């Protein structure tokens, strides 16, 4: 394999790893959106909080990333429940704007709290599978990107299985579709809303650990992750899990290849221009848009 093809394959692996990490952020965003009926603007800061938790536990214990993973997921699942109790479920009967304001305030609280605790200097989260690379078919592939692709794919499939093939998932989808009807048939709506938001928090925490090794952890990153999730969901179709996955993978591939060719600044500008073009042509996204979900 010539040098150009080798570089292309390595870029593709890195792009898929970045897209899969974004997919976990977007998937949690969709779960929170469907459960709350409104956008959780603190979701990006929960991603950063997951990275910060990984940094803190890793510094205290020197545990490897693969061992930290369930601890971070559990901590952020709890954070998702706390966020729901503080800023989402108490406002369920209010207009969606009330939830927007409350979650924006919660995002600011998380960001300022992390700034006080961590300072402004970025920190590095532990690697999931260690540094270095391994050879495959003559290619030197990084351990971390491959581990992210494998883990992200497994989590996306597990979430799909939960939502589509289990009674719990069917009840979660029923609550997101029509909570009044779900309550009428005996489904405990509040319990399943909290379950959805806990799962969203866990996915955000895992994404924070994965992204925190490659892009470091800084308290001000939440808005950027929130924007990427918002774009992925808008491209894929509001409330659509497959759409969020495809949108996130598309962002990862686009950013990686455009950045390699023209630099990070051009990659960001081109991404936003492309989003405007796609939504101008197909405003409902790739998989349609449930009524009442746009914010």
pLDDT at position 97: 84
pLDDT of residue 2: 64
pLDDT at residue 79 in the model: 96
Q: Do residues 33 and 237 make contact, with C-beta atoms less than 8 angstroms apart?
A: no
Res 50: pLDDT:
96
Cβ atoms 64, 126 nearer than 8 A: yes
Q: What is the mean pLDDT of each run of 10 residues along the chain (295 residues)?
A: 72 91 92 82 96 94 91 96 90 83 94 93 87 69 88 92 89 86 90 93 96 92 92 80 85 89 86 85 68 46
For residue 286, the model assigns a pLDDT of 67
Q: Look at residue 241 in the predicted model and tell me its pLDDT.
A: 77
What phi, psi does 88 have (nearest 5°)? -120, -65
* CA 267 vs CA 18, 219, 256, 258: distances in Å: 14, 23, 8, 5
DSSP alpha helix (H) spans, 131-221: 143-165, 167-177, 179-184, 189-214
In this predicted structure, what is the pLDDT of residue 60? 92
Does this model's pTM top 0.75? My answer is yes
How much is the pLDDT for 54? 95
Query: What pLDDT score was predicted for residue 291?
Result: 45
Taking the C-alpha atoms of residue 242 and residue 229, their distance in angstroms, rounded to an integer, is 13
Strands (E), the chain: 133-136, 139-142
pLDDT at res. 209: 95
pLDDT of residue 173: 86
């Amino acid at each position: 394999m010539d040098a150009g093809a080798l570089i292309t394959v390595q870029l593709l692996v890195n792009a898929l790893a970045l897209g899969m990490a974004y997919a976990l952020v977007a998937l949690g965003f969709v779960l929170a959106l469907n459960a709350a009926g409104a956008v959780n603007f603190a979701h990006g800061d929960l991603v950063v909080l997951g990275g910060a938790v990984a940094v803190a536990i890793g510094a205290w214990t020197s545990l490897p990333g693969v061992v930290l993973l369930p601890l971070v997921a559990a901590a952020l699942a709890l954070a998702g429940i706390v966020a729901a109790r503080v800023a989402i479920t108490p406002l369920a009967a209010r207009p969606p704007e009330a939830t927007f304001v409350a979650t924006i305030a919660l995002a600011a609280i998380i960001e300022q709290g992390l700034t006080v605790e961590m300072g402004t200097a970025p920190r590095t989260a532990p690697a999931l599978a260690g540094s270095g690379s391994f050879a495959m078919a003559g290619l030197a592939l990084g351990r971390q990107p491959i581990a992210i692709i494998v883990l992200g794919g497994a989590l996306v499939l597990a979430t799909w299985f939960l939502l589509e093939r289990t009674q719990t998932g069917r009840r979660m989808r029923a609550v997101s579709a029509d909570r009044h009807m779900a309550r009428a048939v005996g489904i405990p709506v509040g319990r399943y809303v909290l379950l959805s938001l806990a799962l969203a928090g866990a996915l955000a925490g895992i994404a924070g650990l994965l992204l925190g090794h490659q892009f470091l952890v800084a308290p001000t990153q939440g808005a950027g992750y929130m924007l990427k999730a918002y774009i992925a969901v808008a491209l894929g179709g509001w409330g659509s899990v497959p759409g969020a996955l495809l949108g996130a993978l598309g962002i990862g591939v686009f950013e990686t290849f455009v950045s390699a060719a023209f630099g990070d600044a051009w990659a960001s500008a081109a991404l936003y221009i492309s989003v405007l073009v796609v939504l101008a042509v197909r405003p409902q996204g790739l998989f349609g848009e449930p009524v009442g979900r746009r914010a």
